[in-house]
């Protein structure tokens, strides 16, 4: 199982680590572990609310598609390491991934 290390831009949230299974997306993995990550479109690559930064382990997730790149251009504060968590399919069953979840306090929508 890959280990996902999660940091948050929101100062009131503490870093955490979770184990995830190959074949799941990062969005699915964090939600299964009761970690808040907005996902207004339901995880179908139709918005930017699940925007994250993948700081380590991008070789363990599916490559970015043109559609995802187009949406990332619309995200708040996009960076080179920006991804949409709903599109980050875990390809390996071992390894470490480090992500940062941007401040989501200003996003209105799904809070499941």
Q: Tell me how long the chain is.
A: 112
For the whole model, what pTM was predicted?
0.92
Task: Measure Cα distances from 4 to 10, 40, 95, 102 in Å.
Answer: 18, 22, 9, 16
| Cα separation, 91 vs 61, whole angstroms | 5
The class of domain 3-101 in CATH terms is: alpha beta
Task: Measure Cα distances from 101 to 7, 23, 93 in Å.
Answer: 6, 21, 22
Question: E-strand spans in 1-112?
Answer: 3-8, 16-19, 51-56, 82-84, 96-101
Q: Which pLDDT value is given to residue 108?
A: 63
Mean pLDDT by 10 residues, the chain (112 residues): 95 95 96 94 94 97 96 94 98 93 76 46
Nearest to 106 by CA among 49, 62, 55: 49
pLDDT digits (tens, 9 = 90+) for 77-91: 999 999 999 999 999
Token duo for residue 101: 């979840």
Domain regions of the chain by residue span: 3-101
* DSSP, res 13: S
């Amino acid at each position: 199982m890959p280990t996902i290390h999660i940091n948050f831009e929101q100062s009131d949230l503490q870093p955490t680590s979770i184990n995830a299974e190959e074949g799941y997306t990062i969005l699915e993995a964090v939600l299964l572990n009761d970690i808040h990550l907005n996902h207004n479109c339901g995880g179908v690559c139709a918005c930017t609310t699940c925007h994250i930064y993948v700081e380590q382990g991008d070789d363990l997730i599916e490559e970015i598609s043109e559609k995802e790149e187009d949406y990332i251009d619309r995200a708040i504060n996009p960076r080179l390491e920006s991804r949409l968590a709903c599109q980050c399919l875990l390809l390996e069953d071992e390894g470490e991934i480090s992500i940062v979840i941007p401040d989501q306090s200003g996003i209105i929508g799904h809070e499941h």
